[in-house]
């Protein structure tokens, strides 16, 4: 089986790692839209147009069995239009509001995501469905997304800046939801900065469970080479090669596709 994992950048690798642990025999196609990175400040219509075009192109080119939108920001708007256009399963990422709210003892939980994800109606709905009894502190940060990407290029996360971004949560929450797939890549640094007993929750394992259950019973194809595709070849992309190699992934190839401007 060939699983396509999509994100704006490298955040989807946190999801890839969880899925690959469960399904080491699958073939992986990792696709990232670095031509429009970061996604957290893009209008929904641009996101929908780009993501639908990119995914349709790669699904056709790579004989894909299942798509994972490993990006909370994209998942808040693209899942319905994408599912309409594809006949294979599409799995999205939802911030782990439900488990965080039910585990909270103090009744105050934190949501750390992109500016788009913290303010979308999709997130408001999740909060009113699953966390009505809690106070939800929301922080949207694009800077943290960049810090996570830099880490994979060998630039250590600036802990002072991280502490500043996380300051609204300090001493206030007992559960912190990582509502952006880039943030598990900074889990150690986030835990070090928060110090106290805050449970840091992401959605990686839940997505892997969903993928495993959707693929149960599918015929095992011979494993092919894992491939990586992006939408822009630049020096930031080049600097990721060694991290991708450590993840058993190839150097990114640029997709030749005319896309709506970001």
Number of CB atoms found within 10 A of residue 197's CB: 6
**Min separation Cβ 17 and ligand DGL, Å:** 14
Indicate which residue of 134, 180, 230, 237 is catalytic.
180
Closest CA to 166 of 150, 152, 182, 183: 183
The correct pick among 180, 228, 244, 249 for binding ligand DGL (CB under 6 A) is 180
Q: What tokens does 150 get?
A: 């830099």
In the annotation, is 191 catalytic?
no
In the annotation, is 71 catalytic?
yes
Indicate which residue of 71, 134, 230, 237 is catalytic.
71
Closer by beta carbon to ligand DGL, 28 or else 174: 28
**114-153 binders of ligand DGL (CB under 6 A):** 114, 117, 142, 145
- Tell me which DSSP letter residue 86 carries: -
Q: Choose the binding region for ligand DGL from 69-77, 82-90, 101-109, 201-209 (rule: CB under 6 A).
A: 69-77
Q: What tokens does 130 get?
A: 């699953």
Closer by beta carbon to ligand DGL, 27 or else 75: 75
The correct pick among 16, 37, 130, 229 for binding ligand DGL (CB under 6 A) is 37
**Min separation Cβ 34 and ligand DGL, Å:** 9
Closer by beta carbon to ligand DGL, 1 or else 249: 249
CB-side exposure of 238: number of CA atoms within 13 Å? 3
**In angstroms, what is the C-alpha Rg of the chain?**
18
**Min separation Cβ 182 and ligand DGL, Å:** 5
**Min separation Cβ 181 and ligand DGL, Å:** 4
- Tell me which DSSP letter residue 8 carries: S
Q: Where are the alpha helices (DSSP H) in the chain?
A: 12-22, 44-62, 72-85, 97-103, 115-119, 121-130, 142-152, 159-166, 187-194, 204-215, 235-238, 241-246
The correct pick among 50, 182, 210, 226 for binding ligand DGL (CB under 6 A) is 182
Over the window 153 to 172, marking each residue x when it contacts ligand DGL by CB under 6 A and - when it does not, the resulting string is --------------------
Contact 26, 256 (CB under 8 A): no
Asked whether position 39 contacts ligand DGL by CB under 6 A, the answer is yes
Asked whether position 190 contacts ligand DGL by CB under 6 A, the answer is no
Is 245 buried (19+), middle (13-18) or exposed (0-12) by CB count in 10 A?
Answer: exposed
Q: Give 3-state DSSP helix, strand, coil % of the chain, rounded to 5.
A: 50, 15, 35
Asked whether position 48 contacts ligand DGL by CB under 6 A, the answer is no
Q: What residues line the site for ligand DGL (CB under 6 A)?
A: 7-9, 11, 37-40, 71-73, 114, 117, 142, 145, 180-182
Q: Could you give the residue numbers annotated as active site?
A: 71, 180
């Amino acid at each position: 089986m060939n699983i396509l994992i999509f994100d704006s950048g490298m955040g989807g690798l946190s999801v890839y790692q969880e899925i690959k642990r469960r399904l080491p025999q699958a073939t992986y196609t990792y696709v990232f839209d670095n031509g429009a990175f970061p996604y957290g400040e893009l209008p929904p219509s641009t996101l929908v147009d780009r993501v639908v075009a990119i995914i349709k192109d790669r699904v056709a080119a790579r004989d894909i069995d299942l798509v994972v939108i490993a990006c909370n920001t994209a998942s808040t708007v693209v899942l319905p239009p994408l599912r309409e256009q594809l006949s294979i399963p599409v799995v999205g990422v939802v911030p782990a509001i439900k488990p965080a709210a039910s585990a909270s003892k103090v009744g105050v939980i934190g949501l750390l995501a992109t500016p788009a994800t913290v303010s979308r109606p999709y997130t408001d709905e999740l909060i009113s469905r699953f966390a009505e009894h809690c106070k939800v502190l929301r922080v949207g940060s694009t800077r943290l997304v960049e810090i996570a990407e830099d880490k994979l290029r060998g630039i250590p996360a600036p802990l002072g800046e991280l502490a500043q971004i996380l300051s609204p949560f300090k001493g206030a929450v007992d559960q912190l939801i990582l509502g952006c797939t880039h943030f598990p890549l900074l889990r150690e640094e986030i835990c070090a900065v928060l110090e106290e007993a805050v449970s840091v929750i992401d959605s990686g394992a839940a997505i892997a469970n969903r993928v495993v259950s959707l693929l149960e019973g599918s015929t095992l194809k011979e494993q092919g080479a894992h491939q990586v595709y992006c939408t822009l070849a630049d020096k930031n992309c080049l600097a990721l090669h060694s991290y991708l190699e450590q993840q058993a992934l190839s150097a990114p190839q640029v997709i030749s596709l005319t896309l709506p401007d970001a």
